[in-house]
Amino acid sequence: MAQALIAYYSRAGENYVGGKIRRLEVGSAKVAAQMLHGLTGADLFEIKQAEPYSDDHMTCIEEAKRDLEADARPALSSYPESLDGYDTIYLAYPNYWGTMPMAVWAFLEHFDFTGKAIRPLCTNEGSGMGRSESDIRRLYPGALLGEGLSIIGGEVHRARPAIKRWVTES
């Protein structure tokens, strides 16, 4: 039977939340991914860079900008062996400079998502999904791209009802 996978990228540590720098024990996209897991029972996979960005917010901002401008694909520490058994991939990630972190591009390009449903969830501080949906569509014109869900990172702990509606109604 076909199943769903939740693949997420998230970063704990110093982050800009609600207008100030705060230290997060668990990143916002990870909190959202865990809620999704609780609601759907889907498998969870963390998209992790082999060399994570800095814990320091401003350094991380610069590292992520450098990778975006270089169109880099940071090495990941692991991949799921196969996506063959999954028909739906929930993809949760923060908005980095208007799109997905480059590690998420590396994940997407490692597999073929043609014919699979991709359901993007993006945490952010106000830019919404940015251009991430059009970037995914450009990468996989043959994927069934579902309507995205944007969540403000600082409000993620109150997002369960919105995530539930998104899972069941869209």
Ligand X SMILES: Cc1cc2nc3c(=O)[nH]c(=O)nc-3n(C[C@H](O)[C@H](O)[C@H](O)COP(=O)(O)O)c2cc1C
Q: Which residues bind ligand X (CB under 6 A)?
A: 10-11, 15-17, 24, 27-30, 60-61, 64, 94-98, 123-127, 153
φ, ψ for residue 126, nearest 5 deg = 140, -15
Q: Least distance (Å) from ligand X to the CB of residue 97?
A: 5
99 DSSP assignment: B
**Minimum CB separation from ligand X for residue 10, in Å?**
3
Q: Minimum distance between the CB of residue 74 and ligand X, rounded to whole angstroms?
A: 12
Q: Which is nearer to ligand X, 144 or 152 (CB)?
A: 152
Nearer to ligand X, 89 or 129 (CB): 129
Helix (H, G, I), strand (E, B) or coil at 16: strand
Question: Residue with the closest Cβ to ligand X?
Answer: 153
| Contacts with 121 (C-beta within 8 Å, 6 or more apart), sequence order | 29, 32, 33, 36, 90, 91, 92, 93, 148, 149, 150, 151, 163, 166
Nearer to ligand X, 38 or 115 (CB): 38
- Phi–psi pair at 36, nearest 5 degrees: -60, -40
Least Cβ distance, residue 96 to ligand X (angstroms): 4
Are the C-beta atoms of residues 92 and 10 closer than 8 Å to each other?
A: yes
Nearer to ligand X, 34 or 40 (CB): 34
